[in-house]
Amino acid sequence: MIQFTEEAKRRYQTILSHYPEKRAALLPVLTLAQREFGWISQEVAEYIGGLMCYPPSDVLSVATFYTMLHKKPAGKYHIDICKNVSCWLMGVNPCVDEIKRQLGVERRDVTADGKFSWDTTECLGSCGTAPAMQIGDRYYENLTPKSVAEIIENLRNE
Amino acid sequence: MPALPGMTKILLANIDKPDQASITKYRERGGYKALEKALAMEQTALIDEVKASGLRGRGGAGFPTGMKWSFVPRNTNKPTYLLCNADESEPGTFKDRILMERDPHILIEGMAIACYALNCHLSYIYIRGEYEFVANTQQKALDEAYEAKILGPSVMGKDFALDIFVHLGQGAYICGEETSLIESLEGNRGYPRIKPPFPATHGFLASPTVVNNVETLAALPWIVQNGAAAYAAIGTEKSKGTKLFSVSGHVAKPGVYEVDLGYPLLDFINNEAGGVANGRKLKAVIPGGSSVPVMTAAECEGVLLDYESLLKAGSMLGSGGMIVLDETTSMPETLSVIADFYAHESCGQCTPCREGTGWAAKILKNIIAGEGKPSDVDLLLKIADMMEGKTICPLADADVMPIRSFVTKFRSEFEALCKS
Amino acid sequence: MPAGFPRGREERSFAEKAGRDARAPRDTMKKPAKVINVRERAEGESSFAKDIFAPLAGMRLTMNRMVDNLTGKVNATIRYPEERRAYSDRFRGAHILTAREDGSPRCVACYMCATACPADCIYIEPAEHPDPLIEKYPARFDIDMLRCVFCGFCVDACPEEAIIMSRETEICAYTREETMWDIKRLMSRPELPEFGLGYRPNENLVDSTVKFTPKHKEKRKLAGRVTLKEDVEMIPHVTFDPTKD
Amino acid sequence: MPKFTLNGQEIEAKAGQTIIQAAEDHGVEIPHYCYHPDLPIDGNCRMCLVDVEKMPKLTPACTTLVNEGMVVRSENERVKQAVRGVLEFLLINHPVDCPVCDQAGECRLQDYYMVYGLHTSEISLGMKVRKRKVIDLGPMVVLDQERCVLCSRCIRFFDHVTETGEMQFFGRGDHVAIGTFQDRPLDNPYSGNVVDICPVGALTSRDFRFKCRVWFLHATDSICGGCSTGCAVRIDHRDGAIFRMIPRRNPEVNRSWLCDEGRLSFHELNKTERISRPLMKGRDGVQAPVTWEEAVRSIDARLKEIRAANGAGSILGFASPSATNEGLFLFKRYVGDQLGATQFDFRVDSEDKNVLEEEDQILRHFDKHPNSIGAIKLGLMSKELGGIDGAIEAARAGQIKAGVVIYFPPLVRRPCDEEVEGRVFELIDVLEYSVVLAAHKSEWQTAASVVLPVTPWSEEEGTYTNFEGRVQFAGKAIDAGGDALAVWEAFAMLLHASGAESPWMSAEDVFATLTEHVPAYREVTLDKTRLPGVIVG
C-alpha cells in the first residue's frame, strides 16, 4: 500500500488550504503525487481517491485528461521535445531522431537503466528559441542534434 | 529585446533591466505606484477608466476588457473571482512567458488593480504545467509581495484583503479556453462549458468570475498611472494601445516585440524581426497563432497589425503569435503539423471536434505519405464545413481556419502530393 | 388519392376505354378499313411447281435432322445422371455455409437470413465466441430443406457472404430428419465439385477465394460439368486485422 | 407560458422548458443522443442542433431555453446538413458491427442514419480508431467501447441518479472511452438501467445477450410485480416466453428507471414446474387431477357443508398480495358475500407494515408484493387475526375449519421466503378442508384438499395498487400453459357454481363491477389506470 511521505502530507495540507473547495485541489495533488511516485498508476489513483474521498474512476479520469501526468512509468529524466510548427520549421525532426538514437527506445518507453524516457509534445512556448525540449522543469532551447547528444550525455554522467 | 524608436514601451519598458524580477528594483522603477493610485479611486471609476482606455483582451478573442468587467454582478452574496489566464499554449505564442519570467510584479500589480476594481479577494494565476520554472519565478514574486504587505489581509495598508495563488496546469491546450480553464481549476477534466450561463455570472464554483490574459492585466498599471486617454491615444481608433507580438519561424530575429496596434505587418517583419532568415523570400505568414488563417506574402501587402485590418485581410490578430514561413516551406506538411496539434489537444467532449480533428490529421498524414487520393483535398474542406460552428468551444473552428486557408490558398501543393 | 394512382373506371372517357388516344382528332377514327381477300391472294401466289416441291423442301429438313442424329452430330438427350445440363451460374440450389480460414463458420448468427426467409425454414442458436472480434457465432444453424423454397432471400440478406447457394438439386433422403441440414452438412460438401457454386450476389469476393480447376481432361466434354478442386469444400475468407491501428 | 414558432407552427411551451422538450411535447422529434428527460443536460452530442432566428450559429435544442417569440426551425436544409455531418462523424470510428450487436433494431445510429445519413462512408478502414470490445461489467452489463458515441448518459446516470460514480471517461480526443476503474463490475442495484439509456450498442444487457433479435419481440405494457413500488415496465416476449423487461417512463413513479431485481424477476416464473390441472384429494388422500367443473362443484358443496356445520365464521379467506385487484375482489365476493365468511387476511409476513418502507431512496420497497395496498383497500385484512400466525392459531383452536388460500411467492426472492412458505404449509396443514390457488408446484400445497391452477403476474391482465395507493393496469403478456385460469375466472366459476350470477367476461368487466362496489375506487376508470395511473383515497 503506497503512501505519501510526512513531508508530502504537509504539502498536501497546504495545497488544500489554497482552495475554497477540496475538489479544486485535485490537479495540484495529482502533480504532487506524480512527483512522489513518479507516475500516476491505478494504485496511486485509488490512493488519491481514498485520500480526497472521490471515486478512483473519477481521479483516473482526470489524470488521463492531462498529458503531463504519466499513465505509465517514466524515466528519472523524462524528455519532452516539442514537435509543433515553429520547432518543426526550425528542424526538430533530426533532434528527435538523435534522441531515439541516443536512448535506443521508442517514445514513452523507459531505458533499461530507468534513467531516461522521452516523448514528443505540443508547443512548449519557446517558439522564438526553437527547437526546444523540456527535461523536468528545465527548458533546453535552440537545439541541434549535436547539442541534444551533449545534453543527454551530461545527464547520463550525473 | 532591443527597444526601437517610435514604439511606445508599456509592457516591455523594463523587461531587459537587471533583476527586474525583484520587488525592490521593480519599486525603484516606479512599480506599485499605480496600485496605490488605484486603491485611492472608486471601484466603478476604475472600471470606467479601463473601459475608456479601450483595452481589449489580449488572449486572442479581443473582447473589450472594461465591458467584460461590467458584466460582473455587483453586491451578490457570492464571492467574485479573478482568474489570470497564463495557460499560454497557442503554437507560436510566448509573450506571457517573457512577462512572467522577467517582470512578474507587473502582473501582480495588474491583478491587484483588477481585483480591487472587481471587489475580488481570491485570485488564481493558471499557469500551464510546462512553465514550471516560470511559475517558480512568479511564486517568488508573490512571496515578496506578501512580505511587502502588497498582498494579504490588507493590501498596501488599505482595508482590502487579497490572496493570489499560482495554479499549475498539467498539459492541456484546451484549458486556455476560459470555461475549460474554470473546469480545470475546479479539478475536473478540462471540458469547456456551454454558454450561457457565462462565467461573469456562473464561473468558478458557480460564482461571478472574470478570466483575463496575462498581457491584458499587465497593461493595467500603465493605464491607471498615465490615464485612459494616454493609452487610447496609442494605436488605431478601434484597436487601442500596444500589443506584444511573438515572432518565430523563418525570421532573422525571432522574439517578443511590443508595437503600437496599427503598425504595418511587412515593416514589422522586415525591420523589427530582421526580415526572412538566410535572405530567402517570404511565402506566408500566420499572424496570430496557429489557429488563425494563413496569409500569403501577397496578402500581407499593406496590412496593418490591428484587429480590424487583419480581419479585413481574411485573418485575425489572435494571440499575436506570428509564424513566418519562407519559400522552402511545404504547406501540406505545415498544415499536417498544425492539424496533429489540434487532434492531440481536442478534449473529446463534443462530437464534431473529437472526430473531425482526428480524421483531418489522419488524411493529411496520408497525403504527405503520398497515399492520398485526389478526392482527399475536397474531403478536407468538407470536414472543415462539417466541424465549423457546431461545437461547444472554438477549438474546432481553430482547426477549421488553418485547414481551409491552407487548402484553398495552396491547393496546387496538396493536389501535387495526391497525384503521386 | 396519391399521385400516379390509376383512376377508377368510371372516370375513364369512352375513347380511353376503347384503347384509343382521347386527344386524337375524330377523322382518324372515321377512316375506312382496307379489305384484304385472302382467297384471291392465295390463288394469285400458288403454282404447280410450288405444290410439288414444297413438301420435298420440308422432307429435306427432316432428313438432315435424321442424319445428324444417326451420326451423333447433335444429341438432344443426355445420359443423366452421368451427364448433366449446365445450370446457370446464378442457379439457386442447396445452400452452402462459407467458412473462415480456420474452418469455423463465417456466419455471425445475425438472424438476417432467418428474418428474410419467407418459408421460416432457418433455425439459429447463437453463442458467445471467445474472440471478441467475432463475438457471436451460430452454435446451431439448421435449414429445413423440405420447407425451403429456394428463393435465395437468405443469400441476399447475408451481410457476411456466409450463406451462398450451390447448383445442387438432388436433395433426396429416406427420412425427414436427413432433410434437416445442420452446420456440418451445410459447410462440408463433398458433392460440391459435381455441381459447383450457384447464386452468390458478391461473386468476385466469393470466387476470388475458390479455385475452379478441372480434375482431369476428359475425352468428351460432358455437358455443364463443373469441377472444383477436390479439397475445396469450404470457402475461406480473410478476417479484418484489428491490430492495425 | 412562452409561445414560440417551431417549423412554422405556433407552439406554447411550459415555463423553463428547453426547445427539445417543448418539441417533444408537441410530437416533433429532434434527433439527439446525449439528451435524456431524466438526466441533467450535457449537450455534447450536437445532434439536436436547430436553426434559431437571430442566432448566427446553429444552437443545440437541448440546452436552449424557449423564449417568447423565438422562431425555431428543426427541418430546414441547413439543419439537415449539420445533423448529417455530426452523424457521419459519429460513424467514422464506429465499427459498424450491427450483425453481432444486440442493439440492432432499436439503435439510434441506425434510425438516424436511415433518416438523415444515407451517406457512403469516406473514411478508410485503416484510419478507424480501435477500442476495446466485450468488456464484462458485472452481472448486468457488457461494454463495447468502439460502439460508444460518448454521450455520457451512463456516466451522468451513475453520477446523479445512483450517485456512485462508477463510470467515467478516460483519455482525451478521439481516444476517449468510457469505462469503470480497472473494469470493476458494476455492483449497483440499478446498473441495468444504463443498458436502456445507452442510445447505441455500447452497453448491452448480459442477461438478454444474444437471446433474441429485438424485431422478433412483441411488447406488452405492464407493471413490475417485483415489489410494492409498481414501476411501469414493458414486457418483451416471443412465442409464449418472456425475453426481457424494460422500464416504461412514468414520471410519477419510476421516471425511466427499474431496479435489477425487478428487471430479472420474470425468470422466477420459469424456475419451478407449473400446476397444469386442478388437483383434488380423493378418499385415499392423494391429490389426483380433475376437471375444473368437478373441482368447482365439490369445493362449493363442501364449503357449504362446513358452513352449515360450524357457521360462516369457520371459513377463512386467505388472499395473496400478489394477485390482481380483480382476482381479490371476486375472491372476497365468493368467500365473503356468498359464503358469508368474516375471517380475511393476506399477511404471510408483515406486508402491512413494510409496504411503505423504502429499501433505498430510488425505487425499491421492502414489501415484495405488488398489491398489498389493494388487498387492504378491499378489506382483506382483519384486525383480530393479525396475519397468518393468527390464522394458524385460530385453526389450531378449531375456530377455523376450512380455508380458501391464494398464494404467489414473491418474484423477487428473499431469504425469509422459505420460512414464509413453511407457515403457509402449516396453515393448510392444520385446516380441515383447504382450497389452494397457486401457479407453481411446491412443497406447501401437498396438504391441500384442492389445488386450483391459476395464472401468475404477466399471464393475466388486471390492476395493481402500489404503495401510495396508485392503481395501475398491467397487461397480459403470454398465455399460461395447461388449464390454468386467471384468479378472477376461478372465482367467477365458483360464484356461478354456488348459484350467484357471474356476468363477467373479462377482467375489464370485473374492474367495472369493482369500481361500483368499492367506494375507494368509485372515480377510477380503466383508462385512468394506464400511465401514469391514478391514486385512490
Would you list which residues of chain D are within 8 Å, Cβ to Cβ, of chain A? 164-172, 179-182
DSSP label of C241 = -
Q: How far, in Å, CA of C191 to CA of C175, rounded?
A: 20
- Residues in chain B within 8 Å Cβ distance of D93: 355
**Picking from B12-16, C79-83, D68-72, D190-194, which range would have the lowest pLDDT averaged per residue?**
C79-83
Region B204-216: mean pLDDT is: 95
**D99 touching chain C per CB within 8 A:** yes
Binary contact (D99, C108; C-beta < 8 A) = yes
Predicted confidence at residue C218, as pLDDT, reads: 41
Give the containing element (helix H, strand E) for D136: strand D135-137
User: From D50, which residue of chain B is nearest by alpha-carbon distance?
Assistant: B390
Region D485-490: mean pLDDT is: 96
Name which of D62, D7, D65 is nearest D31 in CA terms.
Answer: D62
* Architecture of the domain delimited by B242-324: Roll (3.10)
Contact B210, B72 (CB under 8 A): yes
Domain-embedded: residue C79:
no
Binary contact (A58, D165; C-beta < 8 A) = yes
Q: Is D414 exposed, middle or buried (0-12, 13-18, 19+ CB in 10 A)?
A: middle
Name the residue with higher pLDDT: A13 or D531.
A13
Mutation target for D interface from C117, C128, C135: give the one with most D CBs within 10 A.
Answer: C135
Region D497-503: mean pLDDT is: 91
DSSP label of C239 = P
User: What whole-number percentage of chain B has pLDDT above 70?
Assistant: 98
Strand, coil or helix: D46: coil
Q: What is the pLDDT of residues C3-61, one digit of tens each?
A: 434 344 344 434 344 444 444 444 545 566 677 888 888 888 888 888 888 889 889 99
Q: How many domains does chain C have?
A: 2
| Cβ partners under 8 Å of residue B359, min gap 6 | B383, D89, D92, D123, D127, D174
Show the domains of chain D with their CATH numbers.
Answer: 3-75 (3.10.20.740), 279-535 (3.40.50.740)
**B386 touching chain D per CB within 8 A:** yes
Predicted confidence at residue D422, as pLDDT, reads: 92
Position B81 confidence tier, pLDDT thresholds 50, 70, 90: very high
Name which of A129, A109, A122 is nearest A82 in CA terms.
Answer: A122
- Residues in chain B within 8 Å Cβ distance of D51: none
Cell triple for residue B121?
A: 479577494
Q: What is the pLDDT of residues D211-225, one digit of tens each?
A: 999 999 999 999 999
Task: Kindly tell me if the per-residue pLDDT of B114 is higher than 70.
Answer: yes
Mutation target for B interface from A14, A22, A27, A124: give the one with most B CBs within 10 A.
Answer: A27
Cell triple for residue B187?
A: 479539478
Q: What is the pLDDT of residues A54-82, one digit of tens each?
A: 999 999 999 999 999 999 999 999 999 99
Binary contact (D166, A57; C-beta < 8 A) = yes
Answer whether the bond into residue D370 is a cis peptide, omega within 30°.
Answer: no
**A18, A69, A128 ranked by CB distance to B256: nearest:** A128
Domain-embedded: residue C125:
yes
Binary contact (C160, D126; C-beta < 8 A) = no
CATH code for residues A6-65: 1.10.10
Contact A107, A96 (CB under 8 A): no
- Side by side, the strands of the sheet bearing C122-128 are C122-128, C136-144, C180-181
Q: CATH classification of B23-233 is 3.40.50.11540, yes or no?
A: yes
Task: Kindly tell me if the per-residue pLDDT of D160 is higher than 70.
Answer: yes
Binary contact (B343, D123; C-beta < 8 A) = no
| Cβ partners under 8 Å of residue B5, min gap 6 | none
Name which of B317, B349, B335, B292 is nearest B175 in CA terms.
Answer: B349
**D46, D85, D92 ranked by CB distance to B350: nearest:** D46
Q: How close A99 comes to chain B (CA, Å)?
A: 20
Q: How far, in Å, CA of B344 to CA of A65, rounded?
A: 11
User: From D164, which residue of chain A is nearest by alpha-carbon distance?
Assistant: A55
User: From D57, which residue of chain B is nearest by alpha-carbon distance?
Assistant: B389
Same domain for C99 and C45: no
Cell triple for residue B343?
A: 487532434
Binary contact (D100, C242; C-beta < 8 A) = no
Predicted confidence at residue C169, as pLDDT, reads: 84
Vertex B194 angle, CA B193 and B197, to 5°: 100
Predicted confidence at residue C230, as pLDDT, reads: 39
Domain boundaries, chain A: 6-65, 77-157
Predicted confidence at residue B4, as pLDDT, reads: 42
Specify the CATH number for B331-419; select among 3.30.450.20, 1.20.1440.230, 3.40.50.720, 3.30.200.20: 1.20.1440.230
Same domain for C136 and C59: no
**CB pairs < 8 Å spanning A and B:** 139
**D130 touching chain C per CB within 8 A:** yes
Most confident option among C101-115, D238-252, D344-358: D238-252
**CB pairs < 8 Å spanning B and D:** 85
Domain boundaries, chain B: 23-233, 242-324, 331-419
Q: Is C62 exposed, middle or buried (0-12, 13-18, 19+ CB in 10 A)?
A: exposed
Q: How far, in Å, CA of C206 to CA of C202, rounded?
A: 6
Task: Kindly tell me if the per-residue pLDDT of C159 is higher than 90.
Answer: no
Predicted confidence at residue C30, as pLDDT, reads: 56
Contact C141, C105 (CB under 8 A): yes
Mutation target for B interface from D35, D84, D172, D175: give the one with most B CBs within 10 A.
Answer: D172
User: What whole-number percentage of chain D has pLDDT above 90?
Assistant: 86
- Residues in chain D within 8 Å Cβ distance of A65: 169, 171-172
Q: What is the pLDDT of residues B344-399, one digit of tens each?
A: 999 999 999 999 999 999 999 999 999 999 999 999 999 999 999 999 999 999 99
Predicted confidence at residue C101, as pLDDT, reads: 72
Binary contact (D170, A42; C-beta < 8 A) = no
Cell triple for residue D348?
A: 404471510
Q: How far, in Å, CA of D247 to CA of D70, rounded?
A: 35
Vertex D262 angle, CA D260 and D264, to 5°: 70
Task: Kindly tell me if the per-residue pLDDT of C79 is higher than 80.
Answer: no
Q: How close B340 comes to chain A (CA, Å)?
A: 9
**B171, B185, B188 ranked by CB distance to A67: nearest:** B171
**A30, A31, A122 ranked by CB distance to B341: nearest:** A122
**D100 touching chain C per CB within 8 A:** yes
Predicted confidence at residue A125, as pLDDT, reads: 92
Predicted confidence at residue A114, as pLDDT, reads: 92
Name which of B138, B147, B128 is nearest B102 in CA terms.
Answer: B138
Q: How close A106 comes to chain D (CA, Å)?
A: 20
Would you list which residues of chain C are within 8 Å, Cβ to Cβ, of chain D? 108-112, 115, 126-128, 132-136, 159-160, 240, 242, 244-245
Most confident option among B136-140, C60-64, C218-222: B136-140
Q: CATH classification of A77-157 is 3.40.30.10, yes or no?
A: yes
User: What single string gives the DSSP state of each residue in C14-29?
Assistant: HHHHTTS-TTS-THHH
The mean of the pLDDT values for chain D is 93
Domain-embedded: residue C223:
no
Range of the domain at C58: 38-71
Region A33-56: mean pLDDT is: 94
